[in-house]
Amino acid sequence: MYQTSREEHCRKLDSVWKNVESALQALSRAKGEQFTGAKTQLRASYECYQHATARYSAFLEKAKTPEARHELQLQQAIDEDREAIVSEKLREATPQERDKAHETASQFSLSVHSRASSRSRRSGSSTISLAAVQARAQAEAVKARAQFGRKEAAMRLEKARIEAELEVLQHEKEAAAADAQASALEAAVEQDGGDCHAVSFAVDAFLLVLLHTSLNDDIGGSA
């Protein structure tokens, strides 16, 4: 249930973030009067993303599992990077500023600092492109999902092993119960002076029927 819901949230986040990326590209291509409309579209798209990631964060907080806590930390880091991307783009207040930025760099860039320094801008080091930020965020998400995917697979294998052992134990229990019942029948006949060999034959037939029924149940369950 948790895994299914988490995947649904992730698909929703990927979808709304693609809309934000489209708005970022549109803003980069906008000219003249198009610039204001492109900025409005970017704000609206990013607001939708914020609502989606807020719902996902609430879901992870409610889950209260180690996996959910790790996923929440990862999502918060991704959200911070994406917020920096959008904020930097929106700071290009006029077409003139945008054109000036394009003259000095082939790609729009942003400064990424330690989160403790409030992600303030600085020149020189620690600048990365929009594509680099997106690639890092996506790589971290893929890495985390792969890690928990391996853990989930191992847990499923362990579950299958335990279920197989329980099935064997159930068969052993049924066989022991049948054997005890047969022994009790033989003892009762001997006390009454009856034919022990005839009873043994009947008991053997009873055990064969029980074994046949158990095997059929196993085959039916496997099918």
pLDDT over 60 at 85, yes or no: yes
- Percent of the chain's residues with pLDDT above 70: 61
Which residue type sits at 57? S
Work out the average pLDDT over 75-84. Answer: 87
Predicted confidence at residue 142, as pLDDT, reads: 63
Where does the pLDDT of residue 182 fall: very low under 50, low under 70, confident under 90, or very high at 90 and above?
Answer: confident
pLDDT over 90 at 178, yes or no: no
The secondary element (H helix, E strand) that includes residue 110 is strand 109-111
pLDDT over 90 at 192, yes or no: no
Helix locations, 64-129, DSSP H: 66-90, 95-104
Predicted confidence at residue 118, as pLDDT, reads: 43
- pLDDT (tens digit, 9 = 90+) per residue, 100-152? 555 544 454 444 444 434 444 444 444 445 655 665 666 677 667 767 766 77
Find out whether 35 and 75 touch, Cβ atoms under 8 Å. no
Where does the pLDDT of residue 55 fall: very low under 50, low under 70, confident under 90, or very high at 90 and above?
Answer: very high
The model's pTM? 0.44
Predicted confidence at residue 17, as pLDDT, reads: 92
Considering the chain, what is the average pLDDT of its residues? 73
Find out whether 107 and 129 touch, Cβ atoms under 8 Å. yes
Q: Residue 140 is encoded by which pair of tokens? A: 């971290």
Predicted confidence at residue 48, as pLDDT, reads: 93
Determine the Cα–Cα distance for residues 162 and 170; give it in Å rounded to an integer: 12
Predicted confidence at residue 97, as pLDDT, reads: 54
Which residue type sits at 193? G
Answer with the residue of higher pLDDT: 17 or 211.
Answer: 17
Determine the Cα–Cα distance for residues 171 and 179; give it in Å rounded to an integer: 12
Alpha carbon 161 to chain centroid, angstroms? 23
Predicted confidence at residue 70, as pLDDT, reads: 86
Helix locations, the chain, DSSP H: 2-29, 34-63, 66-90, 95-104, 130-191, 196-222
- pLDDT (tens digit, 9 = 90+) per residue, 139-167? 677 667 767 766 776 777 778 788 888 88
- The CB-side HSE value for 157 (13 A sphere, CA atoms) comes to 6
The secondary element (H helix, E strand) that includes residue 128 is strand 127-129
Where does the pLDDT of residue 98 fall: very low under 50, low under 70, confident under 90, or very high at 90 and above?
Answer: low
Contacts of 71 (CB under 8 A, 6+ apart): 6, 60, 144, 148
